[in-house]
Structure 1
Amino acid sequence: MGTVLKGVSRVRWHELKHAYGSAADVPGVLSRIAWGDAGASEAALSDLALWIGELAVFDATVAAVPFLWDLAVTETVNSRAGVIGLLQTILEHGNPPQPKVQLEAHQAVLSRRATADQLTHDSDPVVRAAAQNLLAGIDSHLSESCCRV
């Protein structure tokens, strides 16, 4: 899969869950985000957002976040601003019955604050704006479970 999604095949996706069940389909969706044209990339991103972030966060969310960060900084990805928006959505959502998963998902986003800062200087103004919003979210993140770390 090249360097963009390097390591995605090493994740045991079939053992992970997202909002609708098995996360075995996540690598294919990540690939469509990475290499699809604008329409395909946006549609795949919309699907992924429903699966791993908009309703709640899951163990598949934790596994996907490092790949989302890689997609956000890869200039050939058509939906980078949307990927950054998904990272912010993940940071804003939780999973109260599974506080450990929530903590891990949030920490996966928070751990790359420097990358978000780097993206605020991107040549694409839409990416810059999304990164500024994410950076503000990171800096003001007050999730009780995350503050206990």
Structure 2
Amino acid sequence: MLEGLEVINWHALEHAYGMADDVPDLLRSLASADAPFRQDALSKLYSNIYHQGTVFEATVYAIPFLIELIQTEAVQDRDKILIYLAHLARGHSYLEEHQNLLFYSDELDNPEFQVQIQQETTWARHVNYAVCSGTNIYLSLLEHNNSKLRTAAPYILACCQQRASEIIPHFKRCLAQERSPQVKASLILSLGLLELPQLANIELFIQFLSSEESDLVRLSAAMTLVRLAKDKTPPEAIAIPIEIIENPISVRESYARLAWANSDVISDVCACLCYLGGAGNVVIPALINALNTVDGYSALSIVRTLLYLAFNGHKLADTIEQKNADLQISVIEAIASYDNVWQFNSNMAHLLGSFGLPQERNQLQAFL
């Protein structure tokens, strides 16, 4: 296993911290029987060949060995390696993402700088291609007896858009026979990214809104429907995210174990509700009610969604529009009223400012 590591001149390759000499030993450590040793190696790989979402020249060369590791039954934590590979596939060029920062302003017209950007974007494309070359292997893991692998496999397969027509039937077949709520939730969320956003497809997800399903599966189906159907989302799908915001205990831990979880479940659900657009007015009263019960962190997420829906994603003009005045005023009143909303004052000030609103509580009250 991993015999080809020595063939590659890692010293000539670069990652976030310079020469990639450390990569071979880190890859070997992923196969260690010692759990802390494996975790330390993966943590370092998250920092060097995948650094804050960016990939590098050395990243491409590491991928075949990572794919080899997930095929080896003796290797532990293969689900974590699968998720790591998925993150690599979603990686991007550092300069392409940061070229508009002030300290690069003098470099933008520099031909050498542009060549470097092109080189980095080429690495990112090659990384994605290399990860997706393992599609058949990931598909085989959908029916593995290890539920952690079955949960992680859909997450990486959602990166392989070019083979969506082949992957989707596998997902649907697995959903029909899967019993683990964690795996079903991962399949549903992943399928939602591979399916075209056509209303003809929503019946597939509506069946998982049933009360016979676990709360995690119902929430995953509802979030997928909201993303796909947007302002045409069925009312029964809209009700479930609100239900979870009001009482997240039943899904908080299980949702956090999904690779799809970007943050706390309330934060992710709130972000999802923004897809409702103009139809989001129906959830505003429930979100306002929820403000009275959540902690300060969750309150930030709810306020962000309330402002987005009430002001249609735009900054406030000089005056409130008469058409939506009552709704918008009720949102601002709620924000000004609840103490927990102001637990993180600087975060709230920044959020309010982004919508053109007064940034201090007393100023907001005076504005009302």
Q: TM-score range by the shorter chain?
A: 0.7 to 0.9
2:142 corresponds to which residue? 120
Structure 2 CA distance, aligned partners of 1:89 and 1:47? 14
| SS of equivalent residue, structure 1 residue 137 | coil
Q: CA deviation at 1:54?
A: 4.0
Cα distance change of structure 1 residues 133 and 110 upon mapping to structure 2, 3 Å threshold: same
Structure 1 CA distance, aligned partners of 2:11 and 2:61? 12
Report if aligned partners of 1:120, 1:131 keep a CA contact under 8 Å in 2. yes
Structure 2 CA distance, aligned partners of 1:54 and 1:115? 26
Structure 1 CA distance, aligned partners of 2:150 and 2:156? 10
2:66 corresponds to which residue? 68
Pick which of 52-61 and 14-23 moved more. 52-61
Q: CA deviation at 1:49?
A: 1.6
Report if aligned partners of 2:16, 2:51 keep a CA contact under 8 Å in 1. no
Structure 2 CA distance, aligned partners of 1:6 and 1:64? 13
Letter in 2 for 1:138: C
Structure 2, gaps ≥5 residues long: 97-116, 162-192, 195-368
* Rg comparison, structure with higher value: 2
Structure 2 CA distance, aligned partners of 1:52 and 1:119? 25
1:52 corresponds to which residue? 49
Report if aligned partners of 1:34, 1:77 keep a CA contact under 8 Å in 2. yes
Q: CA deviation at 1:66?
A: 0.3
Q: CA deviation at 1:46?
A: 1.3
Pick which of 15-24 and 46-55 moved more. 46-55
Q: CA deviation at 1:34?
A: 1.4
Letter in 2 for 1:41: R
1:28 corresponds to which residue? 25
Residues 13-34 of structure 1, C-alpha deviations (whole Å, 9 max, x = no match): 0111111111001001011111
| SS of equivalent residue, structure 1 residue 101 | helix
Structure 2 CA distance, aligned partners of 1:13 and 1:72? 22
Report if aligned partners of 1:53, 1:86 keep a CA contact under 8 Å in 2. no
Q: CA deviation at 1:100?
A: 1.1
1:91 corresponds to which residue? 89
Matching residue within 73, 78, 81 for 1:80 = 78
Structure 2 CA distance, aligned partners of 1:85 and 1:25? 21
TM, length-normalised to structure 1: 0.86
TM, length-normalised to structure 2: 0.36
Report if aligned partners of 1:117, 1:135 keep a CA contact under 8 Å in 2. yes
Q: CA deviation at 1:123?
A: 1.9
Structure 1 CA distance, aligned partners of 2:21 and 2:125? 23
Residues 42-67 of structure 1, C-alpha deviations (whole Å, 9 max, x = no match): 21111112111242111110000000
Q: Give runs of aligned pairs for residues 5-44 of structure 1, distance below 5 A.
A: 5-44=2-41
Q: How many percent of aligned residue pairs carry the same amino acid?
A: 33
Letter in 1 for 2:153: A
2:159 corresponds to which residue? 137
Report if aligned partners of 1:37, 1:78 keep a CA contact under 8 Å in 2. no
Pick which of 20-29 and 113-122 moved more. 113-122
Report if aligned partners of 2:132, 2:159 keep a CA contact under 8 Å in 1. no
Structure 2 CA distance, aligned partners of 1:113 and 1:81? 15
Structure of higher RCO (CA pairs closer than 8 Å, 6+ residues apart):
1
Structure 1, gaps ≥5 residues long: 142-149
Residues 67-111 of structure 1, C-alpha deviations (whole Å, 9 max, x = no match): 000111112112211110110000111113211111111110011
2:330 corresponds to which residue? none
